């Protein structure tokens, strides 16, 4: 039967078709879907002003495995000094780990949300960073740690000092007083809720109107005063939904095209209905790619099923701006995961950059920086490796350029992913006459095919006007 309005009505389906009101549609900032992100852990990216160094700052050395309490002197000026490098790489969005006042090197235990950490610089330095980035066509995303606060914050210190008489006691989830942790044998028995049972990061009570007002002022302050472009929301799934709904209204009222990204490690539909986040960090995709390409613990048909299934998680608008990554400050680096096999890393990155969503690389990936789990994944940036003949750096420049050129095809096109031979994966996007294809060889044998217009090939050779993809190799046609 023809799928016409008349026939739909005749068989009763006219009452089953939803009417989509424009006001109910997910609204996404236009600029996000074309962005290539670069995550920076500020303390380890570059030391641009040695006068700001904390006491005991260590010499800059990317080969050192850092300890949890080490400082190397990275700061905001260091980022400014390398904006030209990032622009040349092709980056159009900078995601900065926390930069607010804190006692740690990672800054996830905030002391004051309204101040730049003094070892990173000051507000004028940050203003210059934003302005310089914007002049180069780069957006700035800050990290909002609103689930918890630092134990050295004035609010928590008031609770420590005044106990039940503290005017801030309801800012937290306190089970009993005093809130001392002295002589505590098991940190899971803290007298208050804390992030990850870490006593120096007490959890905020975001249901409390005073806490909500305070945090929303923080969120809007950095938009109004410094024109930031996005907020990344730390451990977003541990904060109540109503807070995030109010957060969205507050920040979009100040900047309608601000990007709201939530850190949620699992499928995240409850936060992506158009009234909280625009997107989440796509860890399910990350896990699938790493398990297939880097760890080789997943069969090809299972991998394809997972990728196809994940493509159906969210609405089209959401899928276009989901944050695709392979590693971060919370995970081991992908080169470490791959047992230092750069070729496997190239394949994983190429597959990531050919997926719907916005890709992100972690600082140093383009220079083959390695490192195990936290804190080893937070090594100093390996600036000594930057050169015009650095193979990995040139590879990333090519891959980023391909992604930019094919962005519309990837974001709006029809997708196909299939196993054309055992452990040989073929990917294809088609859109408005444009075709983007790639073949990944995860088998143990060479694969021979007719040569086409190659955009990027890795671990491939030409043979009698044909192309040979060696094991671990891939080719992208565009």
For the chain, the straight-line distance linking the first and the last C-alpha, in angstroms and rounded, comes to: 39
- Of these residues, 143, 263, 276, 423, which one is catalytic? 263
DSSP assignment, residue 118?
T
Give yes or no: 263 in active site: yes
Query: What one-character-per-residue DSSP string does 318-384 give?
Result: HHHH-EE-S--TTS--HHHHTTT-HHHHHHHHHHHHTSSSEEEEETTGGGT----STTGGGPPP-GG
Strand ranges, E, within 41-118: 93-96, 100-102, 110-116
Tell me how far apart the alpha carbons of residues 65 and 82 are, in angstroms, rounded to a whole number: 23
Check 43, 234, 327, 366 and give the catalytic one: 234
Q: What is the token pair recorded at 229?
A: 């472009």
| 461: its two tokens | 């050779």
327 in catalytic set: no
d(CA 379, CA 239): 30
Please state the φ and ψ torsions of residue 20, each to the nearest 5 degrees.
-95, 110
Interacting residues of 440 by C-beta distance below 8 A, sequence separation 6+: 293, 347, 350, 351, 424, 425, 427, 473, 474
Q: At what angle do helices 391-405 and 342-353 cross, to 10 degrees?
A: 10
Nearest residue to 261 (alpha-carbon basis) of 249, 246, 244, 285: 244
Contact 2, 10 (CB under 8 A): no
Task: Output Rg (C-alpha) for the chain, integer angstroms.
Answer: 24
Q: Which residues are catalytic?
A: 234, 263
């Amino acid at each position: 039967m023809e799928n016409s309005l008349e026939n739909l009505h005749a068989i009763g389906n006219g009452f089953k078709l939803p009417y989509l009101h424009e006001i109910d549609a997910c609204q996404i900032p236009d600029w996000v879907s074309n962005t290539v992100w670069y995550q920076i852990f500020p303390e380890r990216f570059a030391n641009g002003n040695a006068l700001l160094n904390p006491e005991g700052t260590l010499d800059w050395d990317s080969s050192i495995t850092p300890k949890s309490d080490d400082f190397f002197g990275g700061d905001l000026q260091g980022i400014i000094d390398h904006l030209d490098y990032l622009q040349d790489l092709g980056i159009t969005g900078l995601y900065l780990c926390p930069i607010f006042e804190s006692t740690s090197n990672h800054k996830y235990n905030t002391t004051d949300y309204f101040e730049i950490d003094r070892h990173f610089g000051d507000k004028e330095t940050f203003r210059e960073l934003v302005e310089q980035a914007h002049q180069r066509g780069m957006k700035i995303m800050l990290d909002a740690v609103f689930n918890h606060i630092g134990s050295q914050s004035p609010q928590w210190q008031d609770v420590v000092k005044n106990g039940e008489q503290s005017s801030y006691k309801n800012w937290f989830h306190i089970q009993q007083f005093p809130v001392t942790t002295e002589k505590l044998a098991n940190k899971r028995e803290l007298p208050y809720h804390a992030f990850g049972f870490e006593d120096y990061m007490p959890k905020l009570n975001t249901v409390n109107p005073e806490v909500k007002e305070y945090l929303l002022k923080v969120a809007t302050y950095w938009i109004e005063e410094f024109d930031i472009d996005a907020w990344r929301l730390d451990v977003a799934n541990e904060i109540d939904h109503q807070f995030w709904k109010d957060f969205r209204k507050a920040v979009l009222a100040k900047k309608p095209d601000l990007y709201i990204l939530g850190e949620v490690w699992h499928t995240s539909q409850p936060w992506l209905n158009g009234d909280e986040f625009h997107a989440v960090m796509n860890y399910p995709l990350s896990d699938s790619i790493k398990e297939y390409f880097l760890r080789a613990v997943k069969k090809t048909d299972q991998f394809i099923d997972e990728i196809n299934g994940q493509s159906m998680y969210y609405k089209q608008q959401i899928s276009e701006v989901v944050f695709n990554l392979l590693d971060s400050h919370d995970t081991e680096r992908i080169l470490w995961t791959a047992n230092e096999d750069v070729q496997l890393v190239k394949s994983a990155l190429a597959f990531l950059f050919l997926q719907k969503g916005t890709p992100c690389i972690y600082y140093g990936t383009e220079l083959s920086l390695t490192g195990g789990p936290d804190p080893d994944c937070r090594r100093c940036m390996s600036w000594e490796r930057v050169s015009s003949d650095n193979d990995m750096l040139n590879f990333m420049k090519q891959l980023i350029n391909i992604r930019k050129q094919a962005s519309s095809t990837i974001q709006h096109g029809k997708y196909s992913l299939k196993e054309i031979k055992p452990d040989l994966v073929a990917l294809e996007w088609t859109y408005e006459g444009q075709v983007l294809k790639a073949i990944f060889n995860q088998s143990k044998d060479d694969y021979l095919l007719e040569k086409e217009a190659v955009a990027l090939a890795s671990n491939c050779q030409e043979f009698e006007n044909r192309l040979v993809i060696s094991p671990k190799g891939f080719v992208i046609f565009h």
